[in-house]
Amino acid sequence: MRAFKSWRWLLKKRHELFDGGTCGLKMKQLPFMGIIFTAMLFIVYRTTNYQYQQTQMESKLHPFSSLKDAGLASTSLDSLPRGIIQGRSDLELKPLWSTSSSMSKVNNSSPRNLLAIPVGIKQKNNVDTIVQKFLSENFTIILFHYDGNVDGWRDLKWSNQAIHIVAKSQTKWWFAKRFLHPAVVSIYDYIFLWDEDLGVENFHPGRYLKIMKSERLEISQPALDPNSTGIHHRITIRKRTKKIHRRVYDIRGSVKCSDASDGPPCTGFVEGMAPVFSRSAWHCAWHLIQNDLVHGWGMDMKLGYCAQGDRTKKVGVIDSEYIVHQGIQTLGGQSARKTSNPEDSMKRHAVDVRAEIRRQSTSELRVFKKRWEQAVKEDENWVDPFPKIKKRKQQRRIQRRQF
């Protein structure tokens, strides 16, 4: 009997030890599971952080890529180590070897701005006057030679400092679309995209930029002297008593401009002859330029969408620094009606170049308008930041009825 009890006692102890071991094993598993959970959290964090860094690097490498090109750019660069990739450039001339003067220019951290002008040799003297003013303010100069004549500019002292690009019979917007990509001009704070027939006797680029910055303008133009040739919109005319204006009041003509007006050409408007863009505004405006519509008609009415905010505040005409539009048409030649030489008139009798250019420009304007309307229709996620007054009134009426 004692042996039987001893055996039962041993079995009982064995069960107790087994149950205790199970409990102990469970207690030991808790810290282990905590370690596993912490490790998983760490892995998720590192993965998320890596993806974020990849996205940031992609935006730096391809800051101005479109959505369609982003995937292609990413895959085509996979064979390169990321640290070697440079997604931006500039228009600064580089010496063939380093000198003390060239090194000092590299280390110069002063603001950089760009002046780009389409030029023909017939306007050489006037362009020289313009460039002289801008060079004194540390501007980079780029000349788009639409007549193919570069050698005729070699005698100017600043010619070797400028960048010369040649393409026969091409327009300002054609050049800008192909050679002023935002990734190339990203180091410049402001881009002046001017015509060649502008008088700058009463214009100073340094003072102009100070006003543009103080007024927080993203897109601007210098006002036109009232005696200028070829004034198309009253908002561009200089107001003698003002430093800057952002709207015009005019009840004449087909377009009535009043306090109720909230869009071009009454407010939020600059013309295409002498626009000035901030870096951010140019990033947008470059994408607005249509690659095949080289005359740019209609684009000035949409530039306000690139103002990085309210176009009635971010777009303006600066009156204190003004220019004279001379209205000299050199690209393509003068109109047959303006030609005084009978021989030239006979040559142009078959084809009136200016008339053909105007016809082409008008055609491009219709195409641009259709493209804008089609783009608005197809982009369901796009919301017009500047809804028309009629739409606003209708929305207000609907809201009042609801209440």
Q: What tens-digit pLDDT sequence spans the chain (403 residues)?
A: 555 555 565 556 555 554 555 555 455 556 667 777 777 777 767 666 655 555 455 455 445 555 555 555 567 888 889 889 888 888 888 888 887 665 555 555 567 999 999 999 999 999 999 999 999 898 999 999 999 999 999 999 999 999 999 999 999 999 999 999 999 999 999 999 999 999 999 999 999 999 999 999 999 999 999 999 888 899 999 999 999 999 999 888 778 899 999 999 999 999 999 999 999 999 999 999 999 999 999 999 999 999 999 999 999 999 999 999 998 887 766 544 554 555 555 554 567 888 999 999 999 999 999 999 999 999 999 999 998 754 544 444 444 444 4
Q: Where are the alpha helices (DSSP H) in 62-155?
A: 67-76, 100-106, 124-135
The pLDDT of residue 30 is 60
The pLDDT of residue 344 is 54
Cβ contacts of 387 within 8 Å, gap of 6 or more:
395
Q: What are phi and psi for residue 355, nearest 5 degrees?
A: -65, -40
**Rounded CA separation 318/341 (Å):** 39
The pLDDT of residue 336 is 46
Quote the longest CA-to-CA distance of the chain. Answer: 145
**Do 324 and 228 meet the contact criterion of CB atoms below 8 Å apart?**
yes
Listed in order, strand segments (DSSP E) in 252-350 are 276-278, 315-325
Closest CA to 269 of 313, 213, 238: 313
Cβ contacts of 33 within 8 Å, gap of 6 or more:
none
The pLDDT of residue 2 is 52
Cβ contacts of 267 within 8 Å, gap of 6 or more:
235, 246, 247, 248, 257, 261, 311, 312, 315
Beta-bridge partners for 210: none
Tell me which amino acid residue 199 is.
G
The pTM (predicted TM-score) of the whole model is 0.75
Three-state secondary structure string covering 327-356: CCCCCCCCCHHHCCCHHHHHHCCCCCHHHH
The pLDDT of residue 76 is 83
| 144: its two tokens | 């788009």
In the chain, the domains with their CATH numbers are 111-333 (3.90.550.10)
Q: What are phi and psi for residue 373, nearest 5 degrees?
A: -60, -40
From residue 210, alpha-carbon distances to 119, 203, 205, 274, 319 in Å are: 27, 13, 9, 17, 13
